[in-house]
Structure 1
């Protein structure tokens, strides 16, 4: 019996592949679903992803792309049909996931104004953060109402998914519900987690030296980044009592969103070990 996949052949050019040798087509389109039912052999895609596939990219039966899910699964898929706003694809073959960082990164970010917070979510996702914990602190300017917080988190999750596809992450980061600074200090984290809190007034300990002296023993980093007005001195004291080390990013006073992105970039750089090619 002929497999249904044989009914479709890849297009030799078009939105699903880069120009070049058709025999070595590179799949450059990545789309996301919450869960890929690998055992079923096919997936239906609806909503914004289906609209992007059909209306923006004008892809159709026979086109191939990469499908990702929240668990880190990824498959090469081929479109079977596009009907009534739903895209049905066949799972052709599993694909290997990109290598993960050897160090887990958790960022506690005080809620910022909309544009700045969106930027933090996008860029820290690109830099490989595993979990983002939004929180309300003493000097937080934007304090979403209880009934609006779930909608705000959903928006951040959508931004994280888009950034994950663009940066070819194995899975998007988890974004937890908005909490308070006190509650975040009390949450359990993996053993041997390096806990740091960014503080512009810290003079004796910088981020680089702290990472280089502890990353070989720590498998995770939990870093707290304050709001537009920074942390209050009392919050720094409470964080220290909870095991956090105040660290500085340097002599400059950075905007809150810049601090979070710089933090992610430095930790990503310090923990990354490139693979050596055999010579």
Structure 2
């Protein structure tokens, strides 16, 4: 079994042979929940691509773990970078989408307030929902043993999404009536891929027109129509396989 991953604020100055003390909520989880003991292996990360693998030297109290660093693994910037623009699902399906996309390997998620979204992020509710998405990405990143967690951006408007699509090397909108399957699309070897996943009610004709003007084409995944909370994960898995990032 691979070593569990814990998050630290920074790994600046950490070298093989040095010790790092894990405290706070992460230290409490390691000591009181995971019940790690001296001799066990762990991986520390800043979530931005840097890591430190090592062995537990001591568990102090209920929330402090002392780790001796043995190596400094790193997760390079992904190529090509995959961003999913995720329309806001109802209920807790947004966290489900973020969790499974993170575990699969997405690099960034942009929450999108589409016209047909049942859920709308406003005021405190929006801030709390965004915080939940970011917390979910962090925990899913740890579960997946990632050293580079996906960026969860601020909620975007349709115009902001269009601007993002216009800058991409490959821009796509998932649509069950897309003329071409995503599985046969010509993908870039580097740069950025931006994929739009619409809400339960679908992307509106007006939104489709704006995205088309930005250079995005409609693509279908397959014969079945997936939920908005699962379509992004399926598409990310397909793209990771086709671009060689899973090879």
TM-score range, shorter chain: 0.7 to 0.9
- Residue 214 (1) aligns with residue 214 (2): no
Residue matched to 1:115: 92
Q: 5+ residue gaps in structure 1? A: 1-17, 19-26
- 1:201 is paired with a residue of what secondary structure? coil
- Residue 205 (1) aligns with residue 180 (2): yes
Return the alpha-carbon distance in structure 2 between the equivalents of residues 273 and 118 of structure 1: 24
Return the alpha-carbon distance in structure 1 between the equivalents of residues 224 and 41 of structure 2: 48
Return the alpha-carbon distance in structure 1 between the equivalents of residues 197 and 137 of structure 2: 18
- 1:196 is paired with a residue of what secondary structure? strand
**CA offsets per residue over residues 73-121 of structure 1, 9 Å max, x none?**
1112344554565424244223323576532101100111232111111
Residue matched to 1:193: 169
Relative to structure 1, the CA distance from residue 71 to residue 98 in structure 2 (aligned partners, 3 Å threshold; closer, same or farther) is: closer
Counterpart contact for 1:149–1:177, Cα < 8 Å: no
Counterpart contact for 2:111–2:155, Cα < 8 Å: yes
Give 1:136 deviation, angstroms.
Answer: 0.0
Residue matched to 1:29: 4
Give 1:64 deviation, angstroms.
Answer: 3.6
- Residue 171 (1) aligns with residue 148 (2): yes
Q: How many residues are paired up?
A: 245
Query: Could you list the runs of 4 or more consecutive aligned residues of structure 1 that deviate by over 6 angstroms after TM superposition?
Result: none
Return the alpha-carbon distance in structure 2 between the equivalents of residues 146 and 273 of structure 1: 38
Work out which of the two has the higher radius of gyration on C-alpha atoms and give 1 or 2.
Answer: 1
Return the alpha-carbon distance in structure 2 between the equivalents of residues 181 and 274 of structure 1: 31
Return the alpha-carbon distance in structure 2 between the equivalents of residues 240 and 58 of structure 1: 53
Relative to structure 1, the CA distance from residue 247 to residue 83 in structure 2 (aligned partners, 3 Å threshold; closer, same or farther) is: same
Q: TM-score, normalised by structure 1?
A: 0.78
Counterpart contact for 2:169–2:191, Cα < 8 Å: yes
- 1:253 is paired with a residue of what secondary structure? coil
Residue matched to 2:157: 180
Relative to structure 1, the CA distance from residue 189 to residue 178 in structure 2 (aligned partners, 3 Å threshold; closer, same or farther) is: same
Q: 5+ residue gaps in structure 2? A: none
